């Protein structure tokens, strides 16, 4: 996934421990720990759904201070089976996080998530508020129908060329319901058709992530090891409305409103427009709200990466955000 060239990031660090965690009879999760084994635990939740983690994700955190936990969600990254939608729901991912926390003997942890990772962070926090010390959230996605519709129908206002390539994969007589058309191809009996549709979905998303286009990111998202997770699971979660009731995450904010949080949002985020982050901020008066004026959606945008590192440092120094 993203590799960051931002001077504010901490130097690369390797895991001191990693493993595979079977969570049911189908899914096995990849997990890792890096940084300080005796440090303050922080959990990184990747985006997507299906995008997986990358070594650069460890670099948001001071490895001398934090016990950095990364894992690939069901069907993502190094977890197996790749792109598998069965037994893959938001509620099961929340349960997986708890199973991982218990396995690692962690009492509570700081939760760090962006895009879909912010959705999962809120869902987990609202289910287990006593296990969270705070939240660092970026590029907010609340899983509403309006946000899902925006991905398919609103982003073309800003990326008409990329959307045209996305639509081009679908016959004209099926284009009135792009999600259904992609689901049909992503989950057909043909692995070749699955991969072709997944790559088209994943490229579309990748090409809309940055303020200034980064073709190398689209190429990376086209790799089968990334595209099958992003495409298949993105469509799976979309057609199931993210396994959330409409407005659920805002409605249940009372469960975590007392906890420290920072919301970091790119001003020109086309994938997850700032209005959604603003809605979350209105429901979370104690949260710090930071808009990065020269950034799109990706955590690798220099201003967003700098703001994320500043937030982890602020929590380190003050215990708050």
Q: Give the pLDDT mean for 79-107.
A: 98
pLDDT of 321: 66
Q: Find out whether 68 and 34 touch, Cβ atoms under 8 Å.
A: yes
pLDDT in tens, 282-310: 999 999 999 999 999 999 999 999 999 99
Positions marked active-site: 115, 269, 297
For the chain, give the percent of residues with pLDDT over 70: 97
Confidence (pLDDT) at 317: 83
The domain spans of the chain are 17-144+243-318, 147-242
Over residues 34-44, mean pLDDT: 98
**pLDDT of 131-160, one tens digit each?**
999 999 999 999 999 999 999 999 999 999
How many C-beta atoms surround the C-beta of residue 229 within 10 A?
29
Q: How far from the centroid of its chain's Cα atoms is residue 247's Cα?
A: 19
**Superfamily of domain 17-144+243-318 in the CATH hierarchy:** Alpha/Beta hydrolase fold, catalytic domain (3.40.50.1820)
Locate all alpha helices (DSSP H) within 150-283, ordered by sequence. 160-168, 178-186, 191-206, 215-222, 224-239, 248-251, 274-283
Q: What integer pLDDT is reported at residue 213 of this predicted model?
A: 85
Q: pLDDT category, 24, cuts 50, 70, 90?
A: very high
- Report the sign of the C-alpha dihedral through residues 62, 68, 74, 80, in that order: positive
pTM summary value = 0.95
130: number of Cβ within 10 Å: 8
d(CA 296, CA 266): 5
Kindly tell me if the per-residue pLDDT of 6 is higher than 70. Answer: no
pLDDT, position 220? 87
Contacts of 56 (CB under 8 A, 6+ apart): 1, 2, 3, 4, 9, 12, 300
* Residue 4 pLDDT exceeds 50: no
Span 220-255, pLDDT tens digits: 888 988 999 999 999 999 999 999 999 999 999 999
pLDDT at 54 over 80: yes
As a whole-number percent, the residues of the chain with pLDDT over 90 amount to 92
* Segment 58-89, tens digit of pLDDT: 999 999 999 999 999 999 999 999 999 999 99
Query: In whole numbers, what is the pLDDT of the chain averaged over residues?
Result: 95
């Amino acid at each position: 996934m993203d590799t960051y060239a931002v001077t504010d990031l901490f130097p690369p660090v390797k895991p001191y421990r990693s493993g595979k965690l079977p969570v049911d009879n189908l899914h096995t999760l990849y997990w890792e720990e890096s940084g300080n084994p005796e440090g303050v635990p922080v959990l990184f939740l990747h985006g997507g759904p299906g995008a997986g983690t990358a070594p650069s994700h460890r670099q948001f955190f001071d490895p001398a201070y934090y016990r950095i936990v990364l894992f690939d969600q069901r069907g993502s990254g190094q977890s197996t089976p790749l792109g598998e939608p069965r037994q893959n729901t938001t509620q099961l991912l929340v349960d997986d996080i708890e199973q991982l926390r218990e396995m690692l003997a962690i009492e509570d942890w700081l939760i760090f998530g962006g895009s879909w990772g912010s959705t999962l962070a809120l869902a987990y926090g609202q289910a287990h508020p006593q296990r969270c010390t705070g939240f660092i959230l970026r590029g907010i996605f609340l899983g509403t129908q309006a946000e899902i519709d925006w991905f398919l129908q609103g982003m073309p206002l800003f990326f008409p060329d990329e959307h045209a390539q996305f639509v081009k994969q679908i016959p004209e007589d099926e284009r009135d319901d792009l999600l259904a058309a992609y689901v049909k191809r992503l989950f057909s009996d043909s692995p070749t058709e699955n991969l072709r549709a997944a790559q088209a979905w994943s490229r579309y998303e990748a090409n809309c992530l940055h303020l200034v286009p980064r073709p190398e990111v689209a190429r990376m998202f086209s790799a089968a090891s990334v595209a099958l997770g992003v495409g298949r699971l993105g469509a799976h979660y979309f057609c199931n409305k993210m396994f959330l009731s409409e407005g659920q995450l805002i409605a249940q904010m009372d469960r975590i409103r007392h906890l420290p949080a920072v919301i970091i949002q790119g001003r020109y985020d086309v994938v997850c427009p700032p209005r959604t982050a603003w809605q979350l901020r209105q429901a979370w008066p104690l949260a710090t709200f930071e808009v990065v004026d020269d950034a799109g959606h990706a955590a690798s945008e220099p201003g967003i990466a700098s703001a994320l590192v500043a937030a982890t440092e602020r929590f380190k120094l003050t215990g708050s955000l």
